[in-house]
Amino acid sequence: MQTLEQLKSGQLLGIKQLKLAEGLTDFPMEIIELADTLEVLDLSGNSLSELPEALEKLTKLKIIFASNNRFTHLPDVLGKLPNLEMVGFKTNKIKTVSEASLPAQLRWLILTDNEIETLPNSLGERPRLQKLALAGNQIKQLPSSMKNLVNLELIRLSANQLECFPNVLTQLPKLAWCAFAGNPFCLHPSSLDSVPKVSKSSYSLNHVLGQGASGVISHANWLDLDYDFPNEVAVKVFKGEVTSDGFPQDELEACLQAGQHNNLVKSIAQLDDVTELALVMELIPDSYYNLGLPPTLDTCTRDTFPAGFSLTIKQITLIVEQMIDVFHHLHDNKVCHGDLYAHNTLVNAQGQMIFGDFGAASIYGYLSQEQQTAIRTIESRALRFFIDDLLSVCEQSEVGCHEYQRLAELHI
């Protein structure tokens, strides 16, 4: 992160990336002097509400972040930037997104946790758009122009005010990751009693194992002798507010609706407390590791892997077989995971797999049969991408072998 003092003194001339978070209430005009080189501008965590028209001089700008500010509208000047691909204005107070505010080269739009009710028709006129994050707004319907988003692969629509399932999603040829829970049209499941409700005194939290957008997972000891649970468990305490994927309550419901499967993180109890949401799960052995890494700004929707990482075709086949079984199990239980990725998958040295993270999951058994079939088709594309991503790290000596070709041509 750079400083305002460095910017004003001219020390930052020639830089490609600038990040300023100093409680700014006014846009520092010295940023315009970086027009010859600046590609990434991050103004998140300030108190800005406007961007100047002079911003259009930043013709090389590709990415702009302005999350956690005070914008009430998406600035129109963004639509004038010829190379702007990624726009992130999460957690502002944005109510309006005008027809003119979306750049022509838009590939990734993040407007999570705002107050948007209506989206412009111009959204459907951005053919490069791949990733669209709109969870936590007040959107009541999607513009019909969205049927033209032929390259859209990921969409987050949870925690809005949609009164019916947006059928336009079923027309998108590349859509693979979709989340829509927490809208008025969504019906709640009857699976919430599938695991017992327990009190906080049933366990004692120890060290943190990990955390994400929706909550913190901790190692815990089980204390309640009324239940035959392992001594060591994991407890996820949800943060309570809307996340980039939706409401924590919907994540918990999807976990329970998914039921039990050897390759899913096993839920064994839920906290019975009106002030806090928590899920008790079986502890995953330390021998398991993350199969992949999340997408980057460059890959947008596709997973990445550590440098030098590879898998044998035998390992890939075993993992794929398990994931296909999980896929069928989830959809038999009418759960769309919404985030079927290698980075949400744990494996051990033997290739045994555990799949989790239901933050983007949506229950869909209440929809029409045609809509249910469409949702399954959408997530089957994510499974296809998952297989392709694993094949991309196949050991070079096995690329093109018979099993490699079979997996490459596999129809889900």
Residues within the annotated binding site for ATP? 236
Q: What value, to the nearest 5°, has the Cα angle with vertex 293 and ends 292 and 298?
A: 130
On whether the CB atoms of residues 45 and 1 are closer than 8 A, the answer is no
Sign of CA dihedral 63, 48, 143, 383: positive
Number of C-beta neighbours around residue 278 at 10 A: 23
The CA distances from residue 170 to 148, 165, 371, in Å, are 12, 10, 8
What end-to-end distance do the CA atoms of the chain give, in Å?
45
Task: Give binding residues as ranges.
Answer: 236
Distance separating alpha carbons of residues 361 and 251, to the nearest angstrom: 6
Distance separating alpha carbons of residues 18 and 66, to the nearest angstrom: 12
Residue with tokens 């072998």: 401
Strand partners, 222: 203
Number of C-beta neighbours around residue 308 at 10 A: 6
The CA distances from residue 58 to 64, 83, 147, 232, 243, in Å, are 11, 9, 31, 54, 31
On whether the CB atoms of residues 279 and 255 are closer than 8 A, the answer is yes
Distance separating alpha carbons of residues 250 and 130, to the nearest angstrom: 25
Tell me the helices (H) and strands (E) count for the chain, helix number first. Answer: 5, 19
The CA distances from residue 43 to 33, 60, 309, in Å, are 16, 17, 34
Nearest C-alpha neighbor of 74 from the set 101, 44, 49: 101
On whether the CB atoms of residues 64 and 90 are closer than 8 A, the answer is no
Residue with tokens 């209506």: 118
On whether the CB atoms of residues 167 and 144 are closer than 8 A, the answer is no
Question: Residue 349: left (phi > 0), alpha (psi -120 to 50), or beta?
Answer: alpha
CA dihedral of 242, 243, 244, 246, whole degrees rounded to 10: -60
